[in-house]
């Protein structure tokens, strides 16, 4: 027997499922949604201009399941589809899903329960498992490992300038808060990462369940691999937009230090300098760089930080694999704490 959702239900969840030409992956995705232990949901299938039979497939299944709603709109892209879904959603809690991913059977149950327990949570994600295993690059594996280690609200807040710490299709969100914050924004940036940064700056709490509740498919046709809004430069420009308004940076404008004196690091950091944040110094461990003055600021070794009062705010721009762990260890030895005395910048 299929559960029929009602507007009056106190446990109703709205699932936003945008898709475009996903006929090959939709059947398995929809099956994973139907297998949810929390059956009180409405599934908003947001067609973004499909022409491969996806919409016919959804319509056929919707005729058999009253929980499914097929919403077609002019082809204006993912952001427009998501905002259309938010406007049409009937439930206060909205779960994101993508047409090529798979839900764990207890995903909705566990996320709903956690958000009911803690009304301060604005966004709740979960750990994810990337697939297919054979197609994953070393870089993407490292990203998933980092993301899955970033669990608590504090950990997410402290590493938010490093990279997007949440898989968008793993999230459950409070609809009213997202709409009040302006919904999804369209621009030359990744829409999900921009939303996390914006919500954090407003003061909303973002956290994650320790369970793995989503199988996240990686493939060459993913939007994040094809669209220029997900290119490195787009992330850099978006980060600095929010980083330059972070209260910690504003309070430490005259005692800012940047870790990493290499050419690429300085090029990325220049975006922040252009916003009026000129560092006192660059920090590096390469003896060939110590004593140089690129862009007019001296390159110093880490020991320069010891005992300085007031403490500088350190922004670590080094992204070389393995370096972040060593830098954190050195900063801890010098009495610097992440989130208060230093931040990582991707």
Same domain, 176 and 311: no
Domain boundary (238, 268, 289) is at 238
Q: Are 45 and 61 in contact (CB under 8 A)?
A: no
Instruction: Output the pLDDT for position 165.
Output: 97
Instruction: Output the pLDDT for position 134.
Output: 82
337: in domain: yes
Query: Greatest CA span in the chain, whole angstroms?
Result: 74
Query: How is residue 314 written in tokens?
Result: 């350190």
Long-range contacts from 67-70, C-beta under 8 angstroms, 24+ separation: 67/2, 67/3, 67/4, 67/5, 67/41, 67/42, 67/43, 68/42, 68/43, 69/42, 69/43, 69/44, 69/45, 70/45
Same domain, 213 and 303: no
Q: What's the number of domains the chain is made of? A: 2
5: in domain: no
Instruction: Output the pLDDT for position 294.
Output: 94
Same domain, 223 and 90: yes
307: in domain: yes
Domain range for 311 is: 246-344
**pLDDT tens series, the chain, 346 aa:** 455 544 457 889 999 999 999 999 999 999 999 999 999 999 999 999 999 999 999 999 999 999 999 998 667 899 999 999 999 999 999 999 999 999 999 999 999 999 999 999 999 999 999 999 888 888 899 999 999 999 999 999 999 999 999 999 999 999 999 999 999 999 999 999 999 999 999 999 999 999 999 999 986 666 655 567 778 889 999 999 999 999 999 999 999 999 999 999 999 999 999 999 999 999 999 999 999 999 999 999 999 999 999 999 999 999 988 899 999 999 999 999 999 999 999 9
Place of tokens 């808060």: 177
6: in domain: no
Same domain, 326 and 285: yes
Handedness of CA 290, 291, 297, 303 (dihedral sign): positive
Instruction: Output the pLDDT for position 4.
Output: 52
2: in domain: no
Instruction: Output the pLDDT for position 312.
Output: 98
Domain boundary (238, 263, 280) is at 238
Tell me the backbone φ, ψ of residue 277, rounded to 5 degrees. -105, 95
Instruction: Output the pLDDT for position 224.
Output: 59
Task: Convert the pLDDT of each residue in 251-283 to its tens digit.
Answer: 999 999 999 999 999 999 999 999 999 999 999
């Amino acid at each position: 027997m299929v559960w029929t959702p009602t507007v009056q239900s106190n446990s109703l969840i709205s699932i936003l499922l945008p898709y475009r030409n996903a006929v090959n992956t939709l059947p398995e995705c929809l099956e994973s949604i139907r297998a949810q232990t929390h059956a009180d949901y409405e599934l908003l299938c947001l067609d973004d201009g499909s022409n491969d039979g996806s919409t016919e497939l959804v319509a056929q299944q919707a005729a058999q399941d009253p929980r499914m709603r097929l919403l077609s709109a002019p082809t204006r892209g993912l952001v427009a589809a998501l905002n259309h879904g938010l406007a049409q959603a009937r439930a206060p809690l909205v779960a994101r899903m993508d047409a090529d991913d798979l839900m764990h059977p207890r995903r909705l149950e566990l996320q709903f329960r956690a958000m009911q327990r803690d009304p301060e949570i604005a966004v709740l994600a979960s750990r994810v498992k990337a697939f297919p295993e054979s197609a994953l690059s070393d870089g993407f594996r490292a990203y998933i490992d980092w993301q899955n280690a970033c669990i608590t609200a504090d950990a997410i807040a402290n590493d938010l300038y490093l990279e997007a710490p949440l898989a968008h299709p793993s999230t459950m969100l409070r609809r009213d808060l997202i709409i009040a914050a302006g919904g999804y924004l369209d621009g030359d940036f990744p829409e999900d990462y921009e939303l996390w940064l914006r919500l954090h700056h407003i003061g909303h709490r973002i956290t994650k369940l320790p369970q793995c509740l989503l199988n996240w498919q990686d493939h060459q046709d993913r939007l994040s691999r094809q669209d220029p809004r997900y290119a490195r430069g787009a992330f850099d420009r978006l980060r600095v937009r929010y980083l330059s308004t972070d209260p910690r940076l504003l309070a430490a404008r005259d005692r800012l230090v940047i870790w990493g004196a290499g050419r690429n690091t300085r090029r990325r950091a220049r975006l922040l300098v252009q916003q009026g944040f000129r560092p006192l110094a660059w920090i590096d461990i390469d003896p060939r760089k110590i004593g140089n003055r690129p862009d007019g600021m001296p390159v110093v070794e880490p020991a320069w930080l010891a005992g300085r009062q007031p403490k500088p705010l350190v922004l670590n721009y080094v992204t070389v694999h393995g370096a972040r762990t060593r830098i954190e260890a050195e900063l801890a030895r010098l009495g610097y704490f992440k989130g208060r005395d230093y931040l990582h910048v991707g």
